[in-house]
């Protein structure tokens, strides 16, 4: 890493648990680039990774195997690397890496050690969160950041150790949009007909099984699932058992700079998540002007808080299939409603500006 220079430049490291091309990894890469443009020297470090498509200059300390011995080895490797580099600011991205930011960063003498929380405290491994609370109480974190007010509230309710958590609301870079015909052609999708889309890691949290259940009541639609993850075999099995393989497409990944292909191809985005921090994919859908249906959970309610109309139309009860199907039909077939939703999304979009979020992170670095 290049040494800090006299013009106010800082040496910054984003430390994550695993690089999986998920939301926090993409967020870190985008913030790192924004900080580099302001003259800071920024690197991304990950404890583990099996991803071959890592950003240039990314450091990985260990392959994906995670034993107790491997973790101890990784811990000391991080301490050694931090001591060897002139790091001014150390950001955590995920629960385990936050702990290393606090403890390993303190041992290495890093003055600014910032933990970041991207989901409600109860959604993470509770052993790690108990340790995190202990580390926070001891003052190992110099600053703590939550991606939404709803996430911050769960931490503050757990312990007074989180009383000083700062909220930096997630923002996202608007996706580049394509014509409907081009997007569908490049993704190998039919040029005609209704297409629903869900984007996210195949997991209990993202609840892809609910979207597949809906497809049995929506014979006129095709569903695109963009992602991969631990529940992939269960998702594929459900598709086969339901006999809907001809109406479901699985796309493992799309390069982040071409993610607009997904939003340009679909008529409606589904977010039946059981919980979220503040979904970057949902924010992308807002920027793209794509109608999105979301479960009525605190993070999505916060996301639409500035629009009573969108709150009424786009938030639906978790797991109530009949209401979801009725609203899907309404949005797909009512052109005037789609125009109203599009206009409201355009007004809401600036609230989740990436530049606004990046400026707040830059103030943490200064």
154-176 confidence digits (pLDDT tens):
999 999 999 999 999 999 999 99
User: Residue 58's pLDDT band (boundaries 50, 70, 90)?
Assistant: confident
Domain ranges of the chain: 11-168, 180-352
Judging by DSSP bridges, how do beta strands 315-316 and 248-251 pair with one another?
A: unpaired
Rounded to whole angstroms, how far apart are CA atoms 242 and 119?
32
Other residues' Cβ atoms within 10 Å of the Cβ of residue 133: 17
The whole-model pTM stands at 0.93
Dihedral through CA 140, CA 354, CA 254, CA 119, nearest 10?
A: 40
CA distances from 167 to 116, 186, 320 (A): 10, 38, 32
pLDDT at res. 70: 77
Mean pLDDT of the chain: 93
> In the structure, what pLDDT confidence band is assigned to residue 72 with cuts at 50, 70 and 90?
confident
Q: What is the pLDDT of residue 305?
A: 97
3-class DSSP state of 1: coil
pLDDT at 1 over 60: no
Domains 11-168 and 180-352 share a fold: yes
Q: How far apart are the first and last CA of the chain?
A: 18
What is the predicted pLDDT for the residue at 69? 74
CATH superfamily for domain 180-352: Glycogen Phosphorylase B; (3.40.50.2000)
Judge whether residue 348 has pLDDT over 60: yes
pLDDT tens-digit profile of 216-267? 999 999 999 999 999 999 999 999 999 999 999 999 999 889 999 999 999 9
| CATH number for domain 11-168, candidates 3.40.190.10, 2.40.50.40, 3.90.79.10, 3.40.50.2000 | 3.40.50.2000
């Amino acid at each position: 890493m290049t040494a800090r220079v006299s013009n106010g430049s800082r040496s910054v490291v984003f430390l994550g648990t695993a690089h999986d091309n998920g939301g926090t990894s993409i967020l870190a890469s985008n913030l790192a680039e924004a900080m580099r443009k302001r003259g800071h020297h920024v690197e991304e470090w990950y404890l583990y990774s099996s991803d071959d498509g890592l950003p240039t200059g990314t450091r990985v300390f260990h392959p994906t195997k995670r034993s107790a011995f491997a973790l101890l080895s990784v811990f000391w490797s991080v301490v050694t690397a931090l001591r060897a580099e002139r790091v001014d600011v150390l950001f955590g991205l995920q629960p385990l890496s936050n702990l290393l930011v606090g403890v390993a960063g303190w041992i290495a003498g890093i003055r600014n050690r910032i933990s970041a929380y991207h989901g409600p405290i109860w959604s993470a491994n509770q052993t790690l969160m108990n340790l995190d609370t202990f580390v926070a109480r001891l003052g190992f974190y110099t600053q703590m950041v939550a991606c939404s007010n709803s996430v911050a509230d769960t931490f503050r309710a757990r312990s007074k150790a989180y009383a000083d958590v700062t909220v930096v609301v997630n923002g996202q870079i608007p996706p580049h949009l394509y014509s409907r015909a081009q997007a569908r052609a490049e993704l190998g999708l039919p040029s005609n007909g209704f297409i629903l889309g869900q984007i996210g890691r195949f997991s209990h949290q993202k609840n892809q099984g609910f979207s597949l259940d809906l497809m049995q009541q929506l014979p006129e639609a095709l569903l695109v699932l963009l992602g991969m993850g631990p529940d992939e075999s269960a998702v594929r099995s459900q598709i086969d058992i339901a006999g809907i393989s001809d109406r479901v497409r699985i796309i493992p990944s799309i390069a982040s700079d071409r993610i607009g292909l997904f939003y340009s191809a679909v008529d409606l985005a589904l977010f039946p998540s059981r919980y979220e921090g503040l979904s970057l994919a949902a924010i992308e859908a807002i920027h793209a002007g794509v109608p999105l249906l979301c479960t009525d959970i605190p993070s999505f309610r916060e996301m639409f808080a500035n629009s009573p109309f969108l709150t009424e139309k786009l938030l639906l009860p978790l797991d109530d299939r009949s209401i979801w199907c009725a609203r899907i039909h309404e949005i797909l077939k009512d052109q005037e409603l789609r125009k109203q939703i599009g206009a409201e999304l355009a007004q809401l979009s600036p609230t989740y500006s990436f530049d606004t979020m990046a400026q707040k992170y830059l103030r943490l670095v200064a």
